[in-house]
Amino acid sequence: MSETVKLIVEGQEYEFPVITGTEGEKAIDISKLRDLTGHITLDIGFKNTGSTKSAITFLDGEEGILHHRGYSIEDLAEHASFLEVSYLLLYGKLPNATEYAEFQSAIREHTLANEGLEAMFKAFPTGSHPMGQLSSMVAALGLYYPKALNPHRSEEAINRTIIRLMAKMPTICAMIYKKRNGHPTVYPKNSLDYVANYLNMTFGQVTMPEYEPDPVLVSAMNKLLILHADHEQNCSASTVRVVGSSQSNLYSSISAGISALWGPLHGGANQEVLEMLEQIQNDGGDVQKWINKAKDKNDPFRLMGFGHRVYKNFDPRAKIIKKACDDVLAKLGVNDPVLEIAKQLEEAALTDPYFVERKLFPNVDFYSGIIYRAMGFPTDFFTVLFSMGRLPGWISQWQEMRKEKQPIARPRQIYTGETPRAYVHMKDRD
């Protein structure tokens, strides 16, 4: 017999089904709650609310588990390439050799971005944040493919849009980097793989065609992209689904996801981590002073890169990335004073009862920022790299939402404003 729960509302008993996921997760299905009882649920910040069923990513915050389509993040980060993981997220299975070759070659065919996009950079004020540029550029990219704005096209046409987005994202990210430096863009070099091509477009020069991306950086970047590829119903993935649920097109849904990721409590934390470390260093390097500030409830300062909404023991991505971070720093021979501060902060926070009791430990953004800095990326570019990694996740969330014909997202509310009152003419107002 299937499990149910009973709810007594104003003296009357109602029964609601319990839904069990393949990993044993349980949810009370309250989709009929309002019809039956006239009540809604209130869950500000959706801390207890499942917004969808999903077969893409499984995450157990208590145990520190992250699986994509059943494969552990540890295995994927160790053995797979970013494009393999992207294929897995997008199409539900790891590609065989033929499928992988076809996927790579389809992406290679679409790496060029329309030259018209170059003109948009002239309109951005000097110093514009790269995430604002990226969100605008991805929305603008869609305008070059007007037919793709219709989400009801054939699966083949939708897949072409997916491939275009995957292919042009690194090109656009690299263009943003080049334009802010006032340098000419480096065109895609399709003999390189996805990650090396991106690094070439970013750090290569048109005057230096012999530039070869360092394999250590290619491998670290590959790992970072994999670790960011999807994270189930987080703020930006939910945004992509919510925007997509109005049957808005894929480009604008992804552009909205990029905007959501930009925030410092989400992907923007990787930029904030480095800025915080620099601030502590410029302030004399007294780590304890900043820990005390983070603990002070009257002080808005938080330790950026610490804590997570769902991971309450450890962030499995942080474990993998910490090792990658150590490898990259050792191989590049980086000797950066902010890293010393990062180490002290990590140590102090992991032993301080305030952080221990609240289960606040370094998250993925704490280490990713450190690696990106060592690789030579400017601080405000870190979240762009996160976006590149998250793209296949966002697309697969959008695809699942679309294929399952999910209704338009439209939460309810509890109104706490004024009750009805008569209009007061201006001459009679206080």
Binding residues vs ligand CMC (CB under 6 A): 231, 234, 265-267, 269, 294, 302-309, 358, 360, 363-365
Q: What is the DSSP secondary structure assignment for residue 205, as one 8-state letter?
A: B
> Shortest Cβ distance from residue 388 to ligand CMC (Å)?
15
Helix or strand run (H / E) with residue 411: none
> Shortest Cβ distance from residue 390 to ligand CMC (Å)?
9
> Shortest Cβ distance from residue 50 to ligand CMC (Å)?
16
Q: Would you call 228 a catalytic residue per the annotation?
A: no
When the beta carbons of 16 and 311 are compared against ligand CMC, the nearer one is 311
CB 385 within 8 A of CB 372: yes
When the beta carbons of 164 and 266 are compared against ligand CMC, the nearer one is 266
Q: Which of 261, 246, 266 is nearest to 398 (CA)?
A: 246
Distances (CA, A) of 262 to 85, 130, 176, 268, 380: 23, 10, 15, 5, 10
Q: Would you call 365 a catalytic residue per the annotation?
A: yes
> Shortest Cβ distance from residue 77 to ligand CMC (Å)?
16
CB 392 within 8 A of CB 85: yes
Q: Which of 282, 274, 242 is nearest to 52 (CA)?
A: 242
When the beta carbons of 83 and 364 are compared against ligand CMC, the nearer one is 364
DSSP letters spanning 261-306: HHSTTTTTHHHHHHHHHHHHHHTT--HHHHHHHHH-TTS----TTB
> Shortest Cβ distance from residue 237 to ligand CMC (Å)?
10
When the beta carbons of 102 and 296 are compared against ligand CMC, the nearer one is 296
Exactly one of 365, 380, 425, 428 is catalytic; name it.
Answer: 365
DSSP letters spanning 237-261: HHHHHHHHHTT--HHHHHHHHHHHH
Q: Which of 232, 300, 298 is nearest to 265 (CA)?
A: 300
The residue with its CB nearest to ligand CMC is 307
Ramachandran quadrant class, 420 (left: phi over 0; alpha: psi -120 to 50; beta: rest)? beta
CB 258 within 8 A of CB 134: yes
Token duo for residue 87: 């294929």
Q: What is the DSSP secondary structure assignment for residue 30, as one 8-state letter?
A: -
Exactly one of 67, 68, 308, 315 is catalytic; name it.
Answer: 308
When the beta carbons of 166 and 269 are compared against ligand CMC, the nearer one is 269
When the beta carbons of 168 and 223 are compared against ligand CMC, the nearer one is 223
> Shortest Cβ distance from residue 346 to ligand CMC (Å)?
13
Q: Which of 404, 52, 407 is nearest to 245 (CA)?
A: 407
Annotated catalytic residues are: 308, 365
